[in-house]
Amino acid sequence: MRVAFVGKGGSGKTTLSSLFARYATRRGPVVAIDADINQHLGLALGLPADAKADAAGHPPPLGGMLQEIKDYLRGDNPLIRDTASMVKTTPPGRGSRLVRLGDPFFPSRPVEGVTLMVTGPFDEDDLGVACYHSKLGAVELYLNHLVDGPGEYVVVDMTAGADSFASGLFTRFDLTFLVAEPTRQGVSVYRQYRDHAAGFDVAIAVVGNKIHSPDDVDFLREHVGDDLLTWFGHSPAIRGMEQGRPFTLHDLEPAGHLALAAMLDRLDAQPKDWPKFGRQAAEFHIRNARAWANRATGQDLVAQIDPGFVYGPAVAAP
């Protein structure tokens, strides 16, 4: 299963995605991807604050190897002329290289039982000339070509707010956890996300955070209704983790364990819908092709869609 964590900046989505990634390892292997411009997921998982992209720190960033990723995933797909004609929404077809969890081509490192991959921060050369979505293209391509199996989890800490709607990335997940504080600003991000996702059959569950009283829970219930799944209150253990003190899930209070269990049960109960995944991959590739990619590449990229390709584990190599 694939799950995205989204929410207003400062809502705690990175903290909760790190807790959930650790918790999900109880049921199967977990890949956690930091796709937030702030790049704090590794820190939340336990890497030191000064960890760099080397063997002892963060893995090399996916955003810095976009061309290599395209070339790797293109394989010998005859519908994709060359790497230059492959864009972030290019879907796989017959001949494309499909990947499994733990594919060694994609740089990662183990942290607290979780396999961490990072998009990477803005480089000095990016300032003023590039947007972060160019780096997120590496994550979108990875998810488009990933065949995840039963009992495997991909947890993605997304950019804040509704930035993920700048591409089809928001449809690449089985479930989206929207982290909401019990404030007008928190629920406004929920409404924005819900309204943007309407019509795309995107499953959303709201996780309340920074809950201090029953009134806070009532506030969220009033504004998000049945989408409210569970919530996290004040936790000395989580506060200590955020301050850099040693932390394991054993330090988390019982209420936090119950909330994480509710989230994992909800994710496991979500049906895996490979046909929908394929339809939406084609839909957003057509949108991007007609909006900008055909013009940028000088080709009709709609022709890259392989109508005979079947998404799912049946087509993946063992």
CB neighbours of 178 closer than 8 A, spacing ≥ 6?
Answer: 6, 7, 189, 190, 193, 204, 205, 206, 207, 227
Q: How much of the chain is in helix, strand and coil states, percent to nearest 5?
A: 45, 15, 40
Q: Which residue has the tokens 């404030």?
A: 183
Look at 55-59, 177-181, 300-304 and tell me which has the smallest mean pLDDT: 55-59
Residue 213 banded pLDDT, cuts 50, 70, 90: very high
Residue 317 banded pLDDT, cuts 50, 70, 90: very low
Kindly report, residue by residue over 170-195, the tens digit of the pLDDT: 999 999 999 999 999 999 999 999 99
Mean pLDDT of 64-85: 95
**138 pLDDT above the threshold of 60:** yes
Mean pLDDT of 42-67: 82
**122 pLDDT above the threshold of 70:** no
Residue 16 banded pLDDT, cuts 50, 70, 90: very high
Residue 55 banded pLDDT, cuts 50, 70, 90: low
Share of the chain above pLDDT 90, in %: 78
